Structure 1
Amino acid sequence: MRAGLDWPGLMRAGMQGLRLRPEEFWRLTPAELALMLGDPGAVKPMGRSRLEALIAAWPDGRKEDGDGGR
């Protein structure tokens, strides 16, 4: 059995979280509302701590003369 949309939750997110007026909320398609709310399953941008961990794991080597910067 397929579950329906959580309309009370979506209305709270749209009208309280996004500060949409009811008429603005009801004019949106579910896809537009999802885009405005953001995709919780999307990959998050890399934060500073993750960048520093990658730098520590994969440090740049010393540039050798004549290597063209590679």
Structure 2
Amino acid sequence: MSMISEQGGFQWPALMRLGIKGLGLKPAEFWALTPAELLLLLGAGSGTAPMGRARLEELARAFPDAQAGDGELKGQDNVLCAE
């Protein structure tokens, strides 16, 4: 759910519901926050970006799944894998 309307303004009714009902803020506390502070409290921008293909390929080159001489994967001692 975007907190920015199609016209570029904030969706204040939705933000008020999230801040007052969702976060338990008092109206005075809600209105004392800046929009950036409110969005931070709501968790906007707090997640880390998912791994991209370039990073996955970099990790695959650094840690290849090379076969050991006895048919087991290197570094996978005593690990059973379901096929």
TM range (shorter): 0.5 to 0.7
Equivalent residue number for residue 7 of structure 1: 12
Equivalent residue number for residue 81 of structure 2: none
Query: In structure 1, what residue type is equivalent to 2:74?
Result: G
CA RMSD of aligned residues (A): 3.3
- SS of 1:9's partner is helix
Gaps of 5+ in 1: 46-57, 64-70
CA distance in 2: counterparts of 1:27 and 1:44, whole angstroms: 30
Give the TM-score normalised by structure 1: 0.56
Equivalent residue number for residue 53 of structure 1: none
Equivalent residue number for residue 38 of structure 1: 43
CA distance in 2: counterparts of 1:62 and 1:44, whole angstroms: 29
> How many percent of aligned residue pairs carry the same amino acid?
47
Gaps of 5+ in 2: 1-5, 51-63, 66-72, 77-83
CA contact (8 A) 2:40 2:46 kept: no
Give the TM-score normalised by structure 2: 0.48
- Choose between structure 1 and 2: higher helix proportion: 1
